[in-house]
């Protein structure tokens, strides 16, 4: 796979001159190769599997970063208000995050539940739609 760009640039010569590879193919260095450039740039072949694995890793990192950003903005809103209804908390958090990315309300809800489990905020005993910030 890594020899394909060298063959296309005529640095290597392949016999027979076909696009497929087999065990009987003969590769040799092209001694007649000449270039007017002082420095030659060779294209690099990147496999599709590598690209896919990298995109999966990047998506995972982005999701982690968004998770922390959502939690930070929820805490920021709750620190300022101390006591807030669910709908208002979602809307104010969305307004803050609008500049960075467009969060879905389901994501914000998951992060709120996570913050409740960890003890940063709690639900009101009387009205379960109201959240309180725990200092």
pLDDT of residue 39: 81
Range 90-96 average pLDDT: 94
Quote the percentage of the chain above a pLDDT of 90: 53
SS3 102: coil
Residue 85 is part of a domain; what is its CATH number?
1.10.10.10
Range 71-82 average pLDDT: 94
Do 62 and 121 belong to one domain?
yes
Whole-number Å distance between alpha carbons of 89 and 97? 12
65-75 residue pLDDT tens: 999 999 999 99
Q: Which of 122, 123, 118, 117 minimizes the C-alpha distance to 134?
A: 122
Do 32 and 70 belong to one domain?
no
Q: Show Cβ contacts of residue 122 under 8 Å, excluding neighbours closer than 6 positions.
A: 116, 131, 132, 134
Do 71 and 7 belong to one domain?
no
Do 68 and 128 belong to one domain?
yes
Q: How many domains does the chain have?
A: 2
CB 10 within 8 A of CB 33: yes
SS3 123: strand
pLDDT of residue 26: 81
pLDDT of residue 108: 94
What are the contacts of 99-102 at 24+ separation with CB within 8 A?
100/69, 101/66, 101/69
Do 31 and 66 belong to one domain?
no
Range 60-65 average pLDDT: 92
DSSP code for 3: T
Do 72 and 95 belong to one domain?
yes
Domain that holds residue 111: 52-133
pLDDT of residue 23: 76
Whole-number Å distance between alpha carbons of 63 and 47? 25
pLDDT at 1 over 60: no
pLDDT of residue 7: 67
Assign 51 a pLDDT band (cuts: 50, 70, 90).
confident
DSSP code for 29: E
């Amino acid at each position: 796979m890594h020899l394909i760009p060298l063959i296309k640039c005529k640095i290597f010569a392949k016999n027979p001159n076909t696009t497929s590879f087999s065990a009987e193919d003969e590769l040799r260095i092209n001694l007649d190769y000449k270039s007017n450039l002082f420095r030659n740039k060779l294209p690099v072949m990147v496999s599709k599997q590598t690209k896919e694995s990298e995109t999966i890793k990047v998506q995972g990192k982005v999701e982690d970063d968004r998770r922390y950003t959502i939690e930070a903005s929820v805490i920021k809103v709750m620190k300022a208000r101390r006591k807030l209804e669910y709908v208002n908390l979602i809307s104010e958090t969305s307004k803050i995050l609008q500049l960075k990315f467009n969060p879905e309300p389901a994501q914000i809800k998951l992060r709120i539940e996570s913050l409740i489990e960890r003890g940063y905020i709690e639900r009101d005993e009387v009205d379960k739609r109201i959240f309180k910030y725990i200092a």
